Structure 1
Amino acid sequence: MKRFALEIGLAGLLLLTLGAWLLGHEMTGTWVIGCVLAITFVKGQWLIDEFMELRHAPQWLRWVISGWLVLLVGMTALFNM
């Protein structure tokens, strides 16, 4: 069961990546940047929880890593919008 969960997770990440890539290459506008960054945040949080296995880690560690993700996506949004 765990193997199929990993494959489903990887397929989901690939679909999110493909969606963000298509959105970024087919359309223009500030809202597109926001959508791509939102997809990037969802992917990052998913990677933090599932693949880095921080879902069951101490709460402070999850907050630090998630805060880093928010900072990174926020700074990207600040300089690109």
Structure 2
Amino acid sequence: MTHRLTLSWLSLLALTLLGWWLGHQPTLALIQGEWLLWAVLVLSAVKGQWLIDHFMGMKTAPMGLRLAVSGWLLAVLAAMALFL
């Protein structure tokens, strides 16, 4: 169990570093434009759902609670997408 959580945490850290790297590459921003922002937003959605499932224990939670928390994540990301 501990090994799986450590691997999950390291994977989340790698995805965070990837998102940071994508956001700080001036040449990528000039080439990709808005698609780069959407890629970082999707990366954030994946990381958020991963956190909900593995670290908050929602994988085994009742479906209503899991849908409420995942819906909250979707609402926050949709609000962020409004400003892209």
**Superposition deviation, residue 36 in structure 1:** 0.3
Identity of aligned residues (%): 44
Structure 1 letter corresponding to 2:49? Q
Structure 2 letter corresponding to 1:12? S
**Structure 1 residues 1-81: aligned runs within 5 Å:** 2-26=1-25, 27-28=28-29, 29-79=33-83, 81=84
TM-score (normalizing by structure 1)? 0.94
**Superposition deviation, residue 49 in structure 1:** 0.4
Does the 8 A contact of 1:33 with 1:77 survive in 2? no
In structure 1, runs of 5+ residues without a counterpart are none
Alignment RMSD: 0.6
Structure 2 letter corresponding to 1:44? G
The total of aligned residue pairs comes to: 79
In structure 2, runs of 5+ residues without a counterpart are none
**Superposition deviation, residue 6 in structure 1:** 1.0
Residues in 1 aligned to 2:3 and 2:60: alpha-carbon distance in whole angstroms? 20
Runs of 4+ in structure 1 off by over 6 angstroms are: none
